[in-house]
Amino acid sequence: MADWSDCLNFGISIAKQASEVVLSGFREQKEVKLKSSPADLVTETDQRVETILISAIRARYPQHRFIGEESVAAGERVHLTDSPTWIIDPIDGTVNFVHGFPLVAISIAFTINKKTEFGIVYSCVEDKMFYAQRGRGAFLNGKALNASGQEDISRCVVVTEIGAERDDLALSTMTSNIFRLLKLPIHGIRALGTAAVDMCQVATGGADAYYHIGMHCWDIAASAIIVQEAGGVVMDTDGSDFDMMSRRVIAASSPAVANRIAEVIQTFPCRRDDEDPGKCICVAAGVNGPQII
């Protein structure tokens, strides 16, 4: 089995270096642009951090490939191959970043043969470095992480996000899912504004589950392996195996909790990250229900 520790350590070092740009931008006025919705924002700092990360990795590992949030926003296709690939979210929590809400993260995952070998999530303002390597455990600032192991859904704190999808079908589905979970009951719902940090709370045991529909592979690829290496479980919202391209995820303290959430929540259609936009069937919310367009 190949040892990717050198890549992991390099990823940690460049995440820390790039965080200086994030922290500098955090204290400044920002020029903000909209992408897909009023909740899907990008700043010059997002783009600059991604450029810094990819340039540093490419200089050291010139044969490696990349999937970056801002590169995809600029028109690049999401194409995960068997080649060594870095999946990068330069600022996870851009809305938080714009508003000065102190939970913003750099998220970096590394895959080969389409399997994630390690993940790094650096919560910059908090100076919290989450990381995990396949088969070697998960850590926060060097200290081992363990999920709570909770199996009783009624004793759980669950994390989720409303996300950037703001059409009627998406909003009604997401808000009704919160209602369904609260009526089980559970202890509570939390939303931190960054999927990567949300999922890492499951790895720490501070939260017992996270679920979401509509995020992207760069939001969750790194944190998924961190949860798994901390002893948690990660799956699709329908209970099937986790697929980072599906834009659906449940991360939980135990299979019992994950399966109970999968039984309760509903989903809405999302185009896969790796789907050709020219070949997809789009679904929109109409007054009489979902409409094919």
**C-beta atoms surrounding 220 within 10 Å:** 31
Q: Which of 94, 116, 160, 204 is catalytic?
A: 94
CA dist., res. 152 & res. 33, Å (int): 43
Question: What's the distance, CA 137 to chain centroid?
Answer: 19
Taking a C-beta distance cutoff of 8 angstroms, is the pair 91, 122 a contact? no
Report CA-CA distances (Å) from 211 to 87, 121, 127, 178, 237.
20, 18, 25, 10, 7
160 is known as an active-site residue? no
Burial of 23 (0-12, 13-18, 19+ CB in 10 A): middle
219 is known as an active-site residue? yes
Q: Which of 14, 91, 120, 153 is catalytic?
A: 91
112 is known as an active-site residue? no
Q: Which of 89, 117, 165, 229 is catalytic?
A: 89
Q: Which of 46, 70, 165, 219 is catalytic?
A: 219
Taking a C-beta distance cutoff of 8 angstroms, is the pair 43, 25 a contact? yes
92 is known as an active-site residue? yes
69 is known as an active-site residue? yes
Q: Which of 46, 50, 70, 92 is catalytic?
A: 92
43 is known as an active-site residue? no
Taking a C-beta distance cutoff of 8 angstroms, is the pair 147, 227 a contact? yes
Q: Which of 46, 50, 69, 229 is catalytic?
A: 69
Residues acting as catalytic residues: 69, 89, 91-92, 94, 219
